[in-house]
Every structure is written in C-alpha cells, then in structure tokens.
Amino acid sequence: MPNPDRSRRSSPRSGGKGRRTSSDPARIAAYRTLRAITADDAYANLALAEQTTGLSSRDAAFATELVAGTCRALGLYDAIIASAAGRPLRSLQPAVVDLLRLGTHQLLELRVPSHAAVAATVELAREVLSQRVTGVVNAILRKVAALDADGWAGRLRSENADAEALLARHPQWIIDAYADLLPAEELPAALAANNEPPVPHLVIRPGLAEVTELGGRPLRWSPFGVEASGNPAELPPVAEGRAGVQDEGSQLVAWALARVEAPGGPWLDLCAGPGGKAALLAGLARDKGERLLASELQPHRAALVARALAAYPEPTPLVIAADGTRPAWPENSFARVLLDAPCTGLGALRRRPEARWRRKPADLDTLVPLQHELLASAIRAAAPGGVIAYATCSPHRRETSEIVEAASGVEVLDASAVLPDIPDAARGPYLQLWPHRHGTDAMFLALLRKIR
C-alpha cells in the first residue's frame, strides 16, 4: 500500500461538481466515491471506477484502499467517531461524517502518520466543503488519533453492546446468519475472509478464447478461468469480449447446470443481468448444440447482457427485457433453466464491502417472496425432466434452503455430487461455497429436476 502522506498542495483548484485539478486527487476521488455510496446508494465499484479514471496507478490504488477499507469498517468507524465527538452522528453534516470516516481509516488502519492523516483530511474538508467545517473535522480527528486501534477496541467494549460485531466489521444480523450455518470454530475465519479484497478471477467465453490466453494461474476447480492481477481490460480476450471478469463461484454454478443430465432443448437464464453467467452458459450451450435465451427485467441491465454476449457468432444467444414472474415464453419450454435470484448479496461482501451496512434484515421480507415467485416461474418454464439451477450469492437460510424446500413439482438433485472435486461444499443436497474455504463468493446452488 503506497504511503500517501506527501500531499501535493500547490496545484490549482476549480469549483463546482465536475472533475477538478486537486492537490490530492486520490483523497478527492475517495471522498466523492464515498459520498455517492452513502448519499445516492451507488455501488462502490462503479462509483470508484468513475472517479479514478485518469488518475495515476498510485493514486488510483490509494483511493481504492480508502474507499474499500472505509466501507468494510463503516459501522465501526461510525461508533468511534460518535464516541470521539461525544455526540450522535446525526448532529453532523453527512458530508462531514464521510470525511471523518476517511480520516479515521487512515489513522487506525493505514501507514499514514497521525499528523499527516489529520492535516490531509482537514485540507480535504476545506477543498470539498468549506473553511467553516475544518475546525470540527480537526477536533474530532485529533480525539480519534488519541487512541490506536487496540485502544479503541477496548473503549468500545466498555461503551457499546455491539462492540464485538463492529470490531469484526459486520452487523450482528449477518454474523448470526453465518453462525446459523457454520461451525463455531469457523466463524471468525469466515468473517475475516469477508474483510480481505479478492484476487480478480477471469473467465473465457467457451469457443471464443482459450484459458492460456489469459495468463495468470488456473483456478482450482473451474476449467474456464484464472486468477490474475493487474488491469483485466488490458488483456486482448477481455477487450475483445471473448473473456470477462467473473468469480470462480459463479463460474461453477453455470458449469454445474451444464454438467447435470438433462434432455435436449434450449436453455434459459431467467435473471441474466449483468451477463456474466449468461456469457459462460451461452458457450456451454453451443457446445451441446443448443441456444440460450437470456432474460432480464431492467432494460439497461439487459443491454449489459447483450454486450457480454456480443462476441458470439450467429446464431447469437437471444436477449430480451422481460419480467421473470410474468414470462414471455410458453411453459415447459426449456431443458435447462438458471435462476440466479435477486438476493441480499451476503456472500459477496469481499467485492461489495458497502453492502453489509446497506442491507437490513427487513430486506429479506421483500426479497424472499420474490425468490419464491421466481423459482415457481423457473419450474414452469422447464420442460418435463428438465433441470433448474436455483442460485444465490447469499448463504442466508431464508434465501436458500427454505426457498427450495417450499418448491413443488420438482425433485432435488445432489448438487455437490455434480462437482465432486470441491471439498467441504456439501450442504445437505445443496452446494455451498465459502470465501474462507474455497476462495470464492459464498454461492449457494440447488439443482432441481422437474417431475415428468
């Protein structure tokens, strides 16, 4: 991690919300990204990509660490800031809170000297807000700097009933969901794995590229991808649409559906956006002489799916914008159906660190009925004897096994037996991956056969 305390304060500034020439472009980019996340519910990866365009590799790396690290520990930092300030965060301007979060991360987690972290954040406050707020930012951060990370851990344990959860950088309800499924001795490792940024995984489009073109180290179980550092967009297969970025867990879900015995006929990806699994499935379907239909509710996400599939030659996979609960196809039409259901995303907290504080238990009350409805629609879409893959990027019991157990008209297949080389992945008849065990997102997979 580069040491960023050499602030460049002699460059000119410009006003307004557009990109400006700044004395500290990395911190400016991190602040703007965090504001987009907390104020506008932006996705961290998308907002960060927008803000770091044009930065040097050093500045982009520091901005990325600032944003990702702050998002992972947001709840913890909020408790520390409130304790240091001696007042609730709601009494502070939201933009000031974001500045304090970034400053706290530098003070407690990064190799930035305390005086430099405080001074740089005060200067950032002056630049992005006004001189008026610099006093409060300076005062609170100096109180944060009075203790190190261990000191704050001890203080929070004496002040805050949720201290242990906050120190693990997870809300308690997420910890409870993990503890419901994992042995007690594994829980700390599972939570710690969510706090480590993942190594990017790349995947080929079968028939369009070879794994050897990607460089990197072959993945452990998926034959379609590699681990690779650096900028994936600079690789010709990725730039040409013949390969993409996709976690190995997602690759394995698509591969399992392709491997299980099923009748001939077209394939369906019911909730295909943004297109990663559809792009892999399309090539696997072509290998079997079949064609894929990819459906996505939101037109802009359907456009992303079409872009992911664009490199395939004629006959190209079909992409439509349609509501999966009100299908645009007849029943009993597809030999294989993938339902990667909308979910809380509790299995992808490494890649989306902001989600752990954005999601709430009440979100399940909205998502679970939709998951039931979509699975019923997927079963209706399958031909008799056809196979449905129900997948979520969440291990939560309400979004996974309870959804499958309520389904009718299907028999449950042994999903872990379809990919027998993956150790410690069986969750009853289902496949459950974990970051700390497998180095993947915590993907859940159930394979179901429609009763003839």
Say which CATH number the domain at 66 has. 1.10.940.10
pLDDT level of residue 4 (50, 70, 90 thresholds): low
Question: Does residue 213 sit in the same domain as residue 158?
Answer: no
Convert the pLDDT of each residue in 167-178 to its tens digit: 999 999 999 999
Characterise 113 by phi-psi region: left (phi > 0), alpha (psi -120 to 50), beta (else): beta
Asked if the structure places residue 338 within a domain, the reply is: yes
Nearest alpha carbon to residue 442 among 258, 167, 189, 66: 189
Question: Both 267 and 390 in a single domain?
Answer: yes
Residues in CB range of 380: below 8 A, 6 or more apart:
327, 331, 332
Does residue 284 share a domain with residue 209? yes
Q: What is the pTM of this model?
A: 0.92
Q: What confidence score (pLDDT) does residue 20 get?
A: 44
Domain count, the chain: 2
pLDDT at 47 over 60: yes
Is 184 part of a structural domain of the chain?
A: no
Residue in this structure with the two tokens 């990702």, named with its chain if needed: 68
Is 6's pLDDT higher than 70? no
Catalytic, 393? Answer yes
Position 22 confidence tier, pLDDT thresholds 50, 70, 90: low
Task: Determine what percent of the chain falls in helix, strand and coil, rounding each to the nearest 5.
Answer: 50, 15, 40
Asked if residue 222 has pLDDT above 50, the reply is: yes
Q: Do 318 and 444 sit in the same domain of this protein?
A: yes
Supply 145's token pair: 């700097």
Cβ atoms of residues 6 and 113 within 8 Å: no
437 and 332 co-located in one domain:
yes
The band of 76, judged by pLDDT with boundaries at 50, 70 and 90, is: very high
Same domain, 155 and 247: no
Token pair recorded at residue 206: 């079968």
111 pLDDT band (50/70/90 cuts)? confident
Q: Please indicate, yes or no, whether residues 86 and 232 belong to a single structural domain of this protein.
A: no
Same domain flag for 294 and 418: yes
Q: Domain span at residue 322? A: 201-450
In a domain, 2, yes or no: no
Reported as type and span, the H/E element at residue 414 is none
At residue 9, the pLDDT reads: 37
- Whether 1 is covered by a domain: the verdict is no
Q: How far apart are alpha carbons 122 and 247 in whole angstroms?
A: 39
pLDDT score recorded for residue 406: 98
Considering the domain architecture, whether residues 230 and 157 belong to the same structural domain is answered as: no
Looking at the fold, whether 32 and 74 belong to one and the same domain comes out as: yes
> Do 363 and 243 belong together in one domain?
yes
Tell me whether residue 18 is in a domain.
no
Q: In the structure, how many helices (H) and strands (E) does the chain have?
A: 20, 13
Q: Looking at the structure, do residues 148 and 243 belong to the same domain, yes or no?
A: no
Q: What is d(CA 375, CA 256) in angstroms, rounded to the nearest whole number? A: 18
What whole-number distance in Å separates Cα of residue 294 and Cα of residue 117? Answer: 48
Asked whether residue 12 is domain-assigned, the answer is no
Which one of the listed residues 71, 271, 343, 393 is annotated catalytic?
393
129-164 residue pLDDT tens? 999 999 999 999 999 999 999 999 999 999 999 999
Contacting residues for 357 by C-beta, under 8 A, at least 6 apart = 71, 74, 75, 171
**Tokens 């995947």 identify what position?**
203
C-alpha distance from residue 395 to each of 178, 331, 430 (Å): 7, 30, 11
Q: Could you tell me the CATH number of the domain that includes residue 386?
A: 3.40.50.150
CA separation for the pair 336, 325 (Å, rounded)? 17
pLDDT at residue number 133: 97
DSSP state letter for 89: G
3-state secondary structure of 214: helix
pLDDT tens for each residue of 374-417: 999 999 999 999 999 999 999 999 999 999 999 999 999 999 99
